Structure 1
């Protein structure tokens, strides 16, 4: 199992990462969600840093809404950008943009969400390594607490299905329709479910991280903060 940042690609092929960062973030209308700071770092930069901590190359970031702000938030990072002018038409358009931007030499891709700040590079490598075309494992999903989460790794053989999606949907229906091709990869904690949509969720996570560093009860601290604001 590769360690985070080890730079050892999974056996059997070249992996890329696609980070989807094109959405409107409509549930946080007061700010551009992906560039709001979390622990002093833009939310999207944390997701992309995790991709870069893996062996996946290239790391392709799909932009759309507020594209220049996303680019600025990722300044200095070794990433490639693919702009989706149709981002308002839904998630499938960003998936299509990202997959089509990958070099021919890539034989698997880990699709990540730009609003998931707790993913680690080691998980990206483990998902990529679970792809095994001869064994019929063309999709790899993380599982924690009996539930499937994100990100998801895809063999190139599944790329046509990804680029054929339409509307504001992700790839969940492809996974459901190809159950026999799915490898499950054990994950720990809440990271594979933790996406940030609202200001309350962002503030709760920021407080949880502060509390974890201080070794105090994050929920108690959050309740106290809300009581003061009441």
Structure 2
């Protein structure tokens, strides 16, 4: 658990990590039951959760961050990060806004960043240095993404020049069309964590048991 009041040296000139923590986790809920705790709030041991562990990785990278989250997960997110680093979605009833909207809100919350790394909140196996390595590549590429053994993963980074397009994203498409439109640079990393997410109860059990591995989707 990260103590929110602790002083943390942040590289203010670096790209901002936009952590997406607003989805419904429908695949997890379908397997675990609709009454199950949201996948991001699932415990991982040591008093942490899926989102808590992912945020700890980002904090350890010393990159600035902003977390886009739904009202239902706000309390869980602010156990690890300060409220000033959270961009809550408005209450949305039964219709989620989608990943594109979350990205737009996160980028707009940090408009003067040198770039943005988009990271789903369910990737607790990622290494902090992987975030920094992808961020560094934005100095020479409009789009950079993590990959492991040739397989594309997260984070996906966007340089500052793409700000106006990022803040106009909406719906469920995310930023795929931007990745397709601009030259995208794959950053090969010795980190299988760039491919590992927690989508199902089985994924959670593997991670908690120390057996997490990338599963083809």
Structure 1: 5+ residue runs without aligned partners? 1-5, 213-217, 219-230
Confirm whether residue 190 of structure 1 aligns to residue 195 of structure 2: no
Does structure 2 conserve the Cα–Cα contact (< 8 Å) formed by 1:21 and 1:70? Answer: no
Confirm whether residue 22 of structure 1 aligns to residue 27 of structure 2: no
Confirm whether residue 44 of structure 1 aligns to residue 46 of structure 2: no
Confirm whether residue 35 of structure 1 aligns to residue 37 of structure 2: no
Does structure 2 conserve the Cα–Cα contact (< 8 Å) formed by 1:24 and 1:65? Answer: no
Residue number in structure 2 paired with 1:200: 202
Confirm whether residue 114 of structure 1 aligns to residue 125 of structure 2: no
Residue number in structure 2 paired with 1:70: 76
Count matched residues.
Answer: 195
Does structure 1 conserve the Cα–Cα contact (< 8 Å) formed by 2:126 and 2:191? Answer: no
Does structure 2 conserve the Cα–Cα contact (< 8 Å) formed by 1:51 and 1:124? Answer: yes
CA distance in 1 between counterparts of 2:125 and 2:45 reads: 12
RMSD between aligned alpha carbons?
2.4
CA distance in 2 between counterparts of 1:14 and 1:131 reads: 10
Deviation of 1:64 after TM superposition, in Å, equals 1.1
Deviation of 1:189 after TM superposition, in Å, equals 4.1
Confirm whether residue 82 of structure 1 aligns to residue 87 of structure 2: yes
Which has more radius of gyration? 1
Deviation of 1:160 after TM superposition, in Å, equals 1.8
Aligned pairs for 1:35-184 (under 5 A) are 35-40=41-46, 41-57=48-64, 59-64=65-70, 66-71=72-77, 74-78=78-82, 80-85=85-90, 86=92, 88-104=96-112, 106-132=113-139, 135=140, 137-178=141-182, 180=183, 182-184=184-186
CA distance in 2 between counterparts of 1:97 and 1:162 reads: 9
Runs of at least 4 residues of structure 1 off by over 4 A? Answer: 6-10
CA distance in 1 between counterparts of 2:118 and 2:133 reads: 13
Deviation of 1:206 after TM superposition, in Å, equals 1.4
The TM-score, its normalising length taken from structure 1, stands at 0.76
User: How far does the alpha carbon of each residue in 1:114-135 deviate from its partner, in whole angstroms, 9 at most, with x for none?
Assistant: 0111112111111111112xx4
The TM-score, its normalising length taken from structure 2, stands at 0.80
Does structure 2 conserve the Cα–Cα contact (< 8 Å) formed by 1:61 and 1:80? Answer: yes
User: How far does the alpha carbon of each residue in 1:64-90 deviate from its partner, in whole angstroms, 9 at most, with x for none?
Assistant: 15133433xx42534611011257121
CA distance in 2 between counterparts of 1:20 and 1:26 reads: 15
Name the SS of the counterpart of 1:118 in structure 2. Answer: coil
